[in-house]
Amino acid sequence: MELPARNAVPVFETWDLTLLYREEAEFYADVEKVKKLAENIVSDFKGKLNEPDLIAECLDEYEQYCVLLQQLTAYAELALSVDYTDPEHQDRNGKMTALRAELQSKLSFIESEIAAADDIVINAAIEKVDCSRHYLVEILRSKPHRLHTEAEKVLAAFSPVLAAPYEIYQTSKLADMDFGSFAVNGREYPLGYSLFEDDYEFEAETAVRRAAFRTFSDKLRQYENTTAACYNAFLTRCRIEAHQRGFGSITEADLFRQHVSQEMYDRQIDLITRLLAPSMRKYTRLSAKMHGLDRMTFADLKLPLDSDYDPRVTIEESREYVRNALSVLGEDYVRMVDEAYDQRWFDFAKNKGKDTGGNCESVYGKNSFILLTWNSRMADVFTIAHELGHAAHDRFSSAAQSFYDRECSLYLVEAPSTLNELLLGQYLLETGGDKRFRRWVLSALVGNTYYHNFVTHLLEAWYQREVLRIIDAGGSVNANILNRIFKKNLKTFWGDTVELTEGCELTWMRQMHYYVGLYPYTYSAGLTLATQIALDIRREGTPAVERLKRMLSAGGTLDPVGLADLAGVNITSDQPLRNAISYVSDMVDEICVLTKELDGISID
């Protein structure tokens, strides 16, 4: 049995890209339009951006270009993301990538000329513009790190080549890796990236779960050297660019872009590693006892605590769960949920060549597109709630801000999404009945929401920091080095609680976030803020919701500290993080109490 081809899955399980373009002719008409916009900007403004009025006029036109380019790029990328095996999608996306690089190279003069202008001119332009004030402020801030105009133009022209490591990684992972199948007790099981990560990792039957992990790992190992070479090439490029721009390290450059201090970055990694690990080890020991495992291996870590109690959910039922849970955020939020289902923002399908995990792509002035793989589990409902948090963030920020100012710092980008997971959990706890259901909800929050953000991505962040230290010191990495670092990482967090079976060290190969700068640690940063906001909403109600919406609407007009302050949370201290860790620890303790009452199982 194999995954079906894309054209064999039901239409209602796929997203509707006609929300962007009803037919290909419209797409290609906009391709010509964006080319013309770029030509006009060059002819009207190149060599002239030394006066406030001209800067303001140029940025108004440039915003129109950016909005259209984003829509075109999203259309090409979204079509490819659900079927990397389709040569037509590959070709369209490749051409769009090349065109984008060509146009961005031509228009790179905008930032370069503005940055070259006197600060008095830039400040005067800031007073004149309506849509691009924050954009100009960032140009002023980044002035010391800009290259010569021609160097910036060459870099923009080379962007498809510089992005090649990520493209090679994704193509290798989603188009070339054929996992085939594996057998357990004479039965054949199909295997693929999404099947493993969305299904087999949660499989209740130990023999099947561990066999899937072994077969999956064996296939990854065949690609470890190529994947490591791609990653090393990407990191080398990042180091060169960071140094050329006057930064001391890749980390310094990324944190500068995020408006985040080194202290805030290290705090997320070090405090969670030290304070949360004991509670997660406790939870893991309980899981091993619940399932009567001979040992807790790395392949068993995502096993639901109560595998026999895993409610199956239909797509339509997921709508009601999410709608009711998020109603606390107001009618405008609920209308967006309905719109997402009615207009087919979701791609639920399970097909060959589709990207893994869950993500949300929002198009300015349009709607969002949410990718996931539907497995009829409540975990999928949490994923929907999560991705709708991203969609809502974009909707609020885009309604209030220009294209330039819509995106907040990466540091807090996961806060609205993880908040929705917590609100779903709170709703289930408030509406559920018996102790077994309560334990299931608590374990879903611990084993999914917090495990994903405070453990999975935390381990990625710890690993990424170690890798960047090597690169920033002038070194390089290969598969052996990366395997060794990740295994040490796992040992640091899990101690002797988990048997680190062969293949666990290859986990670094499974995540594309390493190609998006310092992204992994931001999951825990976002959930830290989300936890505090969720607690505030439960305690205060409407006032806390209104503060949240002010934060969402602010887009990128403030740094993370300022945005969090709008939500009523002080992230300059470690208290919100400590509160979040305590919240998880308390849930683990309650799960242990409930398990002793329900099953007579104790780890004392």
Furthest-apart CA atoms within the chain: distance in Å: 78
Q: What are the extents of the domains in the chain? A: 6-162
Cβ proximity of 354 and 81 under 8 Å: yes
Long-range contacts of 582-590 (CB under 8 A, 24+ apart): 583/531, 583/535, 584/276, 584/279, 584/446, 584/450, 584/454, 585/276, 585/279, 587/442, 587/445, 587/446, 588/279, 588/280, 588/282, 588/283, 588/446, 590/442
488's tokens: 């040490």
Instruction: Return the percent helix, strand and coil in the chain, to nearest 5.
Output: 70, 5, 25
3-state secondary structure string across 68-88? HHHHHHHHHHHHHHCCCCCHH
Q: How far apart are CA 159 and CA 156, in angstroms?
A: 5
φ, ψ for residue 370 (rounded to 5)? -115, 120
Cβ proximity of 569 and 258 under 8 Å: no
What's the DSSP call for residue 2?
-
Q: How far apart are CA 365 and CA 421, in angstroms?
A: 26
Report whether pLDDT(419) > 80.
Answer: yes
- Cα dihedral 279, 285, 290, 293 sign: positive
Mean pLDDT value across residues 322-337: 97
User: Counting beta carbons within 10 angstroms of the beta carbon of residue 185, is it exposed (0 to 12), middle (13 to 18) or buried (19 or more)?
Assistant: exposed
Cβ atoms < 10 Å from Cβ of 207 = 10
Q: How far apart are CA 369 and CA 391, in angstroms?
A: 8
> What pLDDT digit, counting tens, does each position of 104-148 carry?
989 999 999 999 999 999 999 999 998 899 999 999 999 999 888
- Residue type for position 498: V
Q: What is the pTM of this model?
A: 0.90
Report whether pLDDT(150) > 90.
Answer: no
Lowest mean pLDDT among 45-59, 76-90, 298-312: 298-312
Please list, in sequence order, all residues whose beta carbon lies within 8 angstroms of the beta carbon of residue 141, skipping any fewer than 6 positions away.
Answer: none
Mean pLDDT value across residues 450-474: 96
Highest mean pLDDT of the ranges 31-40, 140-149, 163-172? 31-40
Q: How far apart are CA 3 and CA 278, in angstroms?
A: 39
User: Counting beta carbons within 10 angstroms of the beta carbon of residue 186, is it exposed (0 to 12), middle (13 to 18) or buried (19 or more)?
Assistant: exposed
φ, ψ for residue 199 (rounded to 5)? -130, -65
277's tokens: 């690990």
What's the DSSP call for residue 48?
-
Q: How far apart are CA 48 and CA 60, in angstroms?
A: 15
Percentage of the residues of the chain whose pLDDT score is greater than 90: 87
Long-range contacts of 380-384 (CB under 8 A, 24+ apart): 380/313, 380/318, 381/313, 381/318, 381/321, 381/322, 381/424, 382/421, 382/424, 382/425, 382/444, 382/448, 382/449, 383/358, 384/318, 384/322, 384/346
Identify which of 145, 255, 262, 248 has the alpha carbon closest to the alpha carbon of residue 474.
248
What's the DSSP call for residue 158?
T
Mean pLDDT value across residues 433-439: 90
Residue 156 has a pLDDT of 81
Report whether pLDDT(3) > 90.
Answer: no
Mean pLDDT value across residues 236-264: 96
Edge to edge, the sheet with strand 346-347 lists 346-347, 368-371, 359-362
Residue 35 has a pLDDT of 98
Residue 152 has a pLDDT of 84
Residue 1 has a pLDDT of 53
Mean pLDDT value across residues 191-215: 93
Cβ proximity of 232 and 477 under 8 Å: yes
User: Residue 255: helix, strand or coil by DSSP?
Assistant: helix
3-state secondary structure string across 431-494? HCCCHHHHHHHHHHHHHHHHHHHHHHHHHHHHHHHHHHHHHHCCCCCCHHHHHHHHHHHHHHHH
Report whether pLDDT(433) > 80.
Answer: no
Lowest mean pLDDT among 119-123, 306-310, 384-388: 306-310
Mean pLDDT value across residues 373-386: 92
259's tokens: 């408006």
CATH superfamily placement of domain 6-162: Oligopeptidase f, N-terminal domain (1.20.140.70)
Instruction: For the chain, give the mean pLDDT.
Output: 94
Residue 175 has a pLDDT of 83
Q: How far apart are CA 213 and CA 201, in angstroms?
A: 8
Residue 312 has a pLDDT of 87
Q: How far apart are CA 591 and CA 443, in angstroms?
A: 7
Q: How many helices (H) and strands (E) does the chain have?
A: 26, 5
Q: What Rg, from alpha-carbon coordinates, does the chain have? A: 24
What's the DSSP call for residue 377?
B
Mean pLDDT value across residues 218-244: 96
3-state secondary structure string across 273-335? HHHCHHHHHHHHHHHHHHCCCCCCEHHHCCCCCCCCCCCECCHHHHHHHHHHHHHHHCHHHHH
Give me the DSSP letters along 84-146: TT-HHHHHHHHHHHHHHHHHHHHHTHHHHHHHHS-HHHHHHHHHH-SS-HHHHHHHHHHGGG-
